[in-house]
A = this chain, B = another copy of it.
Amino acid sequence: MKTLKIPEATVMRLSLYSLFLEQAEEEGKVTVSSGEIAEGVGVSPAMVRKDLAYFGEFGTRGVGYNAGDLNQQIRRILGLNREWPVILVGAGKLGSALALYQGFLRQGFHIVGVFDNDPERFGKRLGQIVVQPVSQMEEVIRKRGVEMAIITVPDEAAQEVAERLVGAGVKAILNFSSKVLNVPREVVVRHVDFSVHLGVLTFNLVLLNRNNG
């Protein structure tokens, strides 16, 4: 994975700020302070200001940020000011849930293909999409100019799927298998192991319980 000057944690928090700002907009708020964003997302106000400072000057001192403007700027920074075609490989329980996940569409991610190697799953309807044989994957990637893929196949198949994706032109992979993928340096991979999130919780719980007891 490429090492960036902007910390990945900052990039992830930007997405959370964007979600919070959307919520604020929906609630009719026009202006928000870094303190409100911080409170809403669960970080310190200083961290919000530092994260935003990577990308220039936002907001007005003593007034705060215009929620809509800031959200648009963040979405532009994150590349979310356009639509992205995405394919999903592995139509098991998790894959099916993700294919139907409304949050993707809301953020501009369009699942344009779901693939599996189990003939029993071919033709299965997931929202607007029908599960296709994995043999058709490369063709869809090329035809639709797909650069992003989500892997929800069993661990033992994950590496091979990743290689095929990269071979066909995919440059960014969201990996839900527990296999750590080996891909060329220029390919961006995010490894989503849910137990990683639980690990962050337990780490904090242990600290919390230690401080309290």
Q: How far is the CA of A57 from the CA of B84 in the complex (A)?
A: 44
- Nearest-CB distance from A34 to chain B (Å)? 15
Given contacts A19-B196, A41-B180, A80-B199, 18 further A-B contacts (CB under 8 A): A1-B42, A3-B43, A11-B200, A16-B193, A19-B180, A19-B193, A78-B202, A79-B202, A94-B97, A94-B101, A98-B194, A106-B195, A107-B199, A148-B201, A148-B205, A190-B200, A190-B201, A192-B194
Knowing A19-B180, A208-B186 are in contact, say whether A84-B202 is a contact too (CB < 8 A): yes
Say yes or no: is A198 at the interface (Cβ < 8 Å to chain B): yes
- Nearest-CB distance from A185 to chain B (Å)? 9
Q: How far is the CA of A202 from the CA of B107 in the complex (A)?
A: 11
Give 1 or 0 for each of A1-15: 1 = CB within 8 Å of chain B CB: 111101111011011
Question: Do B43 and A1 touch (CB < 8 A)?
Answer: yes
Q: How large is the interface on A (under 10, 10 to 19, 20 to 34, 35 or more residues)?
A: 35 or more
Q: How far is the CA of A104 from the CA of B194 in the complex (A)?
A: 7
Residue of B nearest to A210 (CB): B79
Say yes or no: is A70 at the interface (Cβ < 8 Å to chain B): no
Question: Do A109 and B9 touch (CB < 8 A)?
Answer: no
Question: Do B7 and A193 touch (CB < 8 A)?
Answer: no
Which of B18, B92, B190, B197 is close to A192, meaning CB atoms less than 8 Å apart? Answer: B197
Question: Do A180 and B40 touch (CB < 8 A)?
Answer: yes
Say yes or no: is A100 at the interface (Cβ < 8 Å to chain B): yes
Which of A114-122, A129-137, A170-178 lies on the face that meets chain B? Answer: A170-178
* Contact residues of A between 92 and 113, Cβ < 8 Å to B: 92-94, 96-98, 100-101, 103-104, 106-107, 109
